[in-house]
Chain A
Amino acid sequence: MSATFVGMPAFPVAAREALANSQQRRNLAHATSTIRAKRAAVVAEVDDWEQLRLAGAAIKDNTLLHLDEQLLRLEESLTARGATVHWARDAAEACAVVAEVARGHGVDEVVKVKSMATVEIGLNDALAAEGIAAWETDLAELIVQLGDDLPSHILVPAIHRNRAEIREIFLRHMAEAGRPAPADLTDEPARLAEAARLHLREKFLRAKVAVSGANFAVADSGTLVVVESEGNGRMCLTLPEVLVSVVGIEKVVPTWADLDVFLQLLPRSSTGERMNPYTSTWAGVTPGDGPQEVHVVLLDNGRTRALADEVGRQALRCIRCSACLNVCPVYERTGGHAYGSVYPGPIGAILNPLLKGVGVDAQTDSLPYASSLCGACFEACPVRIDIPSVLVDLRAQVVDAHRPSAKPEALAMRAAAAAFGSGARLGALERLSGLAGRLLGSRGRTAPGGRRLLGRVPGPGAAWTDTRDLPRPPAESFRAWWSRTGGRDE
């Protein structure tokens, strides 16, 4: 994949471009409203949903509190089951481990299970640089890969594409990657899936090395878990001789029994299904069955930085279900690319700054502001991540990282704070604003109800008045009315 998020503009600029793409907006509005309705229906059937959310949050919080012990326990269990454990501080170290395993087996291709961690670390590009092709086998990831596109959703990376576009991508690009799409391919979902199945089957049967992530890693049994819908993941997990799994360190749960909670929360929150079609679990090597060489790369890549953030660490509870994306009114309109990261939407708006740190680049610093703070994400989150509170805390970190600032916004905030310094001062300024409103002129018409409308406001205020009417400030403020009447004149 040569498409890259690197160098993406800050959110407001990227969002403006995305909003102009009316086809994408229709695709997203349709897809997110469908999945929202499905999720709402299956969540409503569960009487103890709130208790499950609380349990999920508590298990994750407890684990994060003892992450060092849990990870060592996981390493011990995995090693005892015949797996080789590698520790990777960052993306480069993790990619190097995977490349070394592939090189060690002399292969020039690997098949991949859908995995956020491997997209996060840019594994496909790193392997390509070593002459190793990494084939995505998840249908949506395949669409993204063949289209030289970028993922725009955690669960459904090609959510921004409709089936006519997918047909086009298959017809044009499948041949470059292996078996071509049939020339008479239509945009019927069954025909598209068939083309992908035939294309991928060759790769499954040929590959010697597979790469996966994991949804969960059970410390006491050394079990890795992959939850999926298509069965393509299971093909990768069972057919090749060698399996390398890149697992974020926050994926650990203490015991097998803990999966009970998460395997209820995850499918209902993500695909809106009571149960997902395929749940694969494996612990190390089973002689004569499945991969006979198993590697697990435990990935930090900023997670310990996030763990050190008192307010933000709850983001590490995330089980990558995408419920927050699907309910987010900002995501629904801008799509995922505007967030400039493999992790888009509300969770991406907190996870990226937490993993990378704020005050370093303008794109990351723009993400905590990519929200109206409506709270729909918190309400939908199966592990109760209070995303709005984390966003607000990260905004303070962004501002603090740039103090002292002479940016117009900082000056405006200081001026506003001064204006709000006392009731008397505010009252004086309100008298001025009434005057200023009259000086700025009006639009020559009134709002329903009779208020006169302000003309175009200069400076940053134009961002408001260019698209929205604004009433003229009233001749008398509330406090002036109160001081004149004591609240008793009407």
Chain B
Amino acid sequence: MRVALMVTCINDAMFPDAGKAVVRLLHRLGVDVEFPAAQTCCGQPMVNTGYLDEAVPLLRTFVDAFEGYDAVVAPSGSCAGSVRHQHAAVARRSGDPGLVAAAERISPTVYELSEFLVDVLGVEDVGAFFPHTVTYHPTCHSLRMLGVGDRPTRLLRAVHGLRLLDLPAADQCCGFGGTFAVKNADTSVAMGADKARHVRETGAEVLVAGDSSCLMHIGGLLSRQRSGVRVMHLAEVLAATEAAA
């Protein structure tokens, strides 16, 4: 099985540790993951802001990078969701039947990390060790667009030493929403403040989620509040081992 890592632009540029964690985790599970260096961004920031024309060249780059793999793993529910639910519309916009066909071929091979681990590799206990109290925020696109369900929490519950605490109103959006976070900053922060409050209520040391973008927003608020709560990508927790600790 040829597996590619779609690291996502935000992890590449801002949160490389999440990408490194996926690599370490997959290596440990015996997957020889490749990183196609041609990849850049799935185009979601453009699509969700209304700039479809600007997303077309990004789709071409995406197709060039990920054509031919059996599976593409993305540590992001949002970016995997964009590929599976929005690339068809971007491809149609291009008017290029070749691009439409390529997008159709590749979209179903793209998995969010927890989907890949549970559905493709068939593992729940990934052999991780993380002796901390953790609460988990199910990001909207992983929850509602992809329907990952309880896969991430099944993976977390199997982590040795980890104590998982329920997050109140977990399924409520954190308010990130891509450019929404800047275009409607006041509303975004009002939503994020409630999320941060619920996180603090749990008393957890670490907030875990499957999207660095949402974590950047909630973590930005938690940090500004001097809450002491650390945010970590799901991949970082799953990659942690006793040796590393």
Binding site for B on A (CB under 8 A): 11-12, 15-16, 19, 329-330, 333-334, 368-376, 378-379, 389, 392-393, 395-400, 403, 409-410, 413-414, 416-417, 419-424, 426-427, 430, 433, 447-449, 453, 460-461, 463-464, 466-471, 473-474, 476-479, 481-483, 487-488, 490
Contact = CB atoms under 8 A, between A and B. Distances in A.
Interface in B178-194: 178-192
Ranked 5 nearest A-B pairs via Cβ: A372-B177, A468-B220, A395-B50, A374-B173, A399-B50
B228 to A, nearest CB: 6
Given A373-B180, A487-B23, A396 B35 contact: no
A487 B188 contact: no
A15 B184 contact: yes
Interface of B: 7, 9, 11-16, 19-20, 23-24, 27, 33, 35-41, 43, 45-55, 57-58, 61, 65, 85-86, 89, 140-141, 143-145, 171-173, 175-192, 216-217, 219-224, 228-232
8 contacts: A330-B187, A334-B187, A369-B183, A373-B180, A379-B144, A396-B51, A469-B220, A469-B223
Given A374-B140, A482-B35, A392 B48 contact: yes
A372 B144 CA distance: 13
B11 A478 contact: yes
B190 A19 contact: yes
Contact of A421 (B45, B61, B173): B61
A375 B144 contact: yes
B185 A463 contact: yes
Contacts of A449: 230-232
B130 to A, nearest CB: 13
A399 B46 CA distance: 11
Contacts of A481: 16, 19-20
B14 A479 contact: no
A417 B37 contact: no
A410 B46 CA distance: 10
A369 B181 CA distance: 11
A333 B180 contact: no
Contacts of A488: 27
A476 B19 CA distance: 12
B37 A483 contact: yes
B51 A468 contact: no
A471 B141 contact: no
Contacts of B188: 372
A346 to B, nearest CB: 12
A338 to B, nearest CB: 9
Nearest to A409: B49
Contacts of B61: 420-423
Contacts of A470: 216, 220
